[in-house]
Structure 1
Amino acid sequence: MATASQSEVQFRFVVAGGGIAGVTCAQQLASQFPSLDIVLLTAAPMVKTVSNFRQVSKTLEDFEVEEQPSSVLEEKYPNLKVIQSAVTVLHAKQHTLLTENGQVFHYEKLCVCTGARPKLIIQDNPHVLGIRDTDSAQEFQKRLSSAKRIVVVGNGGIALELVYEVEGCEVIWAVKDKAIGNAFIDAGAAQFIIPSLEAEKPKKALPCKRTRYTTDKDTAPNTGSEGPGSALGPDWHESISLRGAEQVSHRVHVEYECEIEKVYSQQEFMQSPLYTQKTNLGVWPIYAQLSNGKTYGCDFIVSATGVVPNTEPFLHGNNFDLAEDHGLKVDEHMQTSEPDVYAAGDVCTAGWEPSAFWQQMRLWTQARQMGWYAARSMAADILGEAIELDFCFELFSHITKFFNYKVVLLGKFNAQGLGQDHELLVRCTKGLEYVKVVLRGGRMMGAILIGETDLEETFENLILNQMDLSPYGQELLNPNIDIEDYFD
């Protein structure tokens, strides 16, 4: 590292963002170039790291996400310097970054991994919370402890986990679709798992054994407008208590095919025509009027309606190609349109022609893969080596848990982009398993596996090798046939 002055420093590699993508990228670079100083800029005092990584199959990965102080990273990688200061300005042509603490960083290669922020239904309302990072999850826990009723808006992964985990509080769940979990599962799978919302939840055998760290620096709760925190991990709710003020264990009411039309404060509601028409709604801090005509009072609203890539500090004065979702568009080497600027994770959008079985879904698994691959690409460019698109982008694969069921998603699991040109095979055993296969022209394009099916590796192979399954017909999912024996 060459120092220009006290406030100006120069690095071969700079990574911006302390989430899974940024940390993975920085770790890979630090490992590959042990004699070079690598800098990781993070807005938050803690960074996200991958632990207990397990390669389940060729493309399926399972891991835990830990939040750690940056010193843990620096101890493991002596050439990795973690600086807690958010990026305020990027001058891409000059290859310089300015941070909040006034430092200027000159880079040879930069990777932007600043994630995304919640897309709140209403900005700057103290009774509307977004859950995206650890700070906002802790703020949610604090608010929930005294709540009797909350309204959850959204139908993605965080909403699915939230409504199942919350206890001691009535939950009104507003989803815009005809079924729950639309981003991940189909209507049939939704019908399979929804009885779990009313059933007694299984007791957790052991508490989460992750190490918890505290920091000296107080960080203001991030309710979603602009926040330093990186995305929550796959089991963010494990280490916090999601219990409200009531004695009820689990009470969820779903309102389908609706969105929030208007939000009223207590004072606004009492002055509105709704108050005179429906005086039985009680006295609450906030009221949500739904597009289906119903109105609910509640302690607060949780906005879990997706995310917006966190690109703002990098756009002014630069010439980035942005995708329709406002992510930094990257090519097959994770490079943006600005020279020597790469991007990975939720902040970017894949701009290459994807494989027939892959799609981007802003998930922690893809953040890890993109961060690792971006580092490989940056290194290859420095070393003058050729690099091909990594195999992880051949097949979309994701393993998670919804309503205490193991869920595996493979390929075009919801027939994404296939139009009417596909057929479905479904096998369902109530309370035990749900298996759906997407076929086109007799070849498997995707699958949803819920429960302990043990079919993920077999189905992954069948999608990748595109074997003609027409001769098997319905027998493909015959529970009396061990399908693995067929296709070993």
Structure 2
Amino acid sequence: MVDADQTFVIVGGGLAGAKAAETLRAEGFTGRVILICDERDHPYERPPLSKGYLLGKEERDSVFVHEPAWYARNDIELHLGQTVDRIDRTAKTVRFGDDGTLVRYDKLLIVTGAEPRRLDIPGTDLAGVHHLRRLAHAERLKGVLASLGRDNGHIVIAGAGWIGLEVAAAAREYGAEVTVIEPAPTPLHGALGPELGNVFAELHRERGVRFHFGVQLTEIVGQDGMVLAARTDDGEEHPAHDVLAAIGAAPRTGLAEAAGLEIADRAHGGGIVVDERLRTSDPDIYAAGDVASFPLALFGTRLRVEHWANALNGGPAAARAMLGKDVTYDRVPYFFTDQYDLGMEYSGWAPPGSYDEVVIRGDAGKREFIAFWVRQGHVLAGMNVNVWDVTEPIQKLIRAGAPVDLDALADPHVPLDSLAP
């Protein structure tokens, strides 16, 4: 039975919000839990949207965090298709954008996520221009890729990041022609640097993907509302029936900014500033998931992490902090990808310029290896490609913060567990 004396409101109905609501009940909170989602679908996980579901290998229902009946069964007041347009920190209320309803909170969690960055070029209003962030986007794109595959059609993808490459892989599996446009010199340049980006370039080239590096889209050309081609700043024109904008995501901080909460600068991801307990500059408001910029002492910086694991773990951590429990959110960043026959997991944080060496353990040519980004003998990050059950020892090496023997690190015969002090 719900005790109405306390009300916790969660704004944002993605994985972080749903797991926060689940955790509040699991930890014994008996007050009202109000979960507000601006989509009409129940909370779902996003990785399948560019992986299994997009490929037709997973059913639509498999993406949902909980079955629909779970929310009522656990006394979660779920508001689907509702937006919040104002937080009044003095009155401790949120206002629904549709009808102006005010809901009072004792604690508030903002998990509004991120939204796709838009191409700022002519032609983006054409019918064949797509983004991939929401379930509705994936449903539409799934049909588009199947149609392109049947008709030998061509998709141009702007951006060789994780979403761009995963959709490229899906498009090729459907049989579509694919061209990827990327301003950087390699795929995944900001995440993996040039050393490992080429592994993914070769993976896709072997499957027939065309890359065009060092250029940007300048215009999407169309006729009668349909896409015909995409032009780049080197003067080339690439034939296309559809275009996917996969140029990153921006945190949805508008609600927090309007409420006067502190926002991180661009160097730290531009999200809502939170402390190690995921508490914002207002002690009764918390933030987690893609929208939060949190301190990570392990790397001596503040990070905003957009990946699935951050939502999966951040939502529950924020919920426990809201309950007054002792929380320190210091998870090593983690993400994964599946492209064709390549499966990969990455742990840590090593942007270009932060490391002085990449150590390879295994056979990169066969795409069965672990890569370590190292600075002065310290492991900053590790990526296992088609090598499994090594995430825990990789993260131990990162957390150890101590120099390791690089020859032993590169030797597959030396157990990883033996290298962490």
Bucket of the pairwise TM-score, normalised by the shorter protein: 0.7 to 0.9
Query: Any idea what the Cα deviations from partners look like across 1:73-95, whole Å, max 9, x if unmatched?
Result: 32441x21112222122222211
Equivalent position to 2:286, from 331, 342, 349: 342
Secondary structure at 1:184's aligned position in 2? helix
Q: Which residue of 2 aligns with 1:182?
A: 189
Task: Name the amino acid aligned to 1:446.
Answer: A
Structure 1, unaligned runs of 5 or more:
4-9, 52-63, 200-249, 269-283
Q: Which residue of 2 aligns with 1:191?
A: 198
| Contact 1:151–1:173 under 8 Å retained in 2 | yes
Secondary structure at 2:299's aligned position in 1? coil
Structure-2 change in CA distance of 1:129 and 1:452 (3 Å):
same
Equivalent position to 2:318, from 357, 374, 390: 374
**Farther off after superposition, 19-28 or 94-103:** 94-103
Q: Which residue of 2 aligns with 1:302?
A: 244
Q: Does 2:220 match 1:263?
A: yes
Q: Which residue of 2 aligns with 1:31?
A: 26
Q: Which residue of 1 aligns with 2:412?
A: 479
Secondary structure at 1:332's aligned position in 2? coil
| Contact 2:262–2:280 under 8 Å retained in 1 | yes
TM-score by length of 1: 0.72
- State the 1:101 CA deviation: 4.1
Task: Name the amino acid aligned to 1:440.
Answer: R
Q: Which residue of 2 aligns with 1:132?
A: 133
| Contact 2:192–2:352 under 8 Å retained in 1 | no
Structure of greater Rg: 1
Structure-2 change in CA distance of 1:455 and 1:97 (3 Å):
closer
Structure-2 change in CA distance of 1:11 and 1:417 (3 Å):
farther
- State the 1:374 CA deviation: 0.9
Q: Which residue of 2 aligns with 1:218?
A: none
Secondary structure at 2:209's aligned position in 1? strand
- State the 1:97 CA deviation: 1.3
Q: Which residue of 1 aligns with 2:160?
A: 155
Q: Which residue of 2 aligns with 1:230?
A: none
- State the 1:415 CA deviation: 5.0
Q: Report percent identity of matched pairs.
A: 21
Q: Does 2:357 match 1:423?
A: yes
Q: Which residue of 1 aligns with 2:335?
A: 398
Q: Which residue of 2 aligns with 1:80?
A: 76
Q: Which residue of 1 aligns with 2:108?
A: 110
Task: Name the amino acid aligned to 2:288.
Answer: A
Query: Any idea what the Cα deviations from partners look like across 1:195-243, whole Å, max 9, x if unmatched?
Result: 43255xxxxxxxxxxxxxxxxxxxxxxxxxxxxxxxxxxxxxxxxxxxx
Task: Name the amino acid aligned to 1:146.
Answer: S
* Superposed CA RMSD: 3.0
User: Mapping of 1:195-210 within 5 angstroms?
Assistant: 195-199=202-206
CA distance in 1, matches of 2:230, 2:372: 39
Q: Does 2:374 match 1:439?
A: yes
Q: Does 2:40 match 1:45?
A: yes
Q: Which residue of 1 aligns with 2:175?
A: 168
- State the 1:130 CA deviation: 0.9
Q: Which residue of 1 aligns with 2:9?
A: 14
Q: Which residue of 2 aligns with 1:410?
A: 347
Structure-2 change in CA distance of 1:38 and 1:253 (3 Å):
same
CA distance in 2, matches of 1:425, 1:454: 19
CA distance in 2, matches of 1:447, 1:141: 32
TM-score by length of 2: 0.82
Structure-2 change in CA distance of 1:109 and 1:484 (3 Å):
closer
Structure-2 change in CA distance of 1:67 and 1:455 (3 Å):
closer
Query: Any idea what the Cα deviations from partners look like across 1:403-452, whole Å, max 9, x if unmatched?
Result: 4322122223x355626xx3332245222413222233333222222121
Query: Any idea what the Cα deviations from partners look like across 1:54-81, whole Å, max 9, x if unmatched?
Result: xxxxxxxxxx97326773332441x211
Secondary structure at 2:64's aligned position in 1? strand
Structure 2, unaligned runs of 5 or more:
47-60
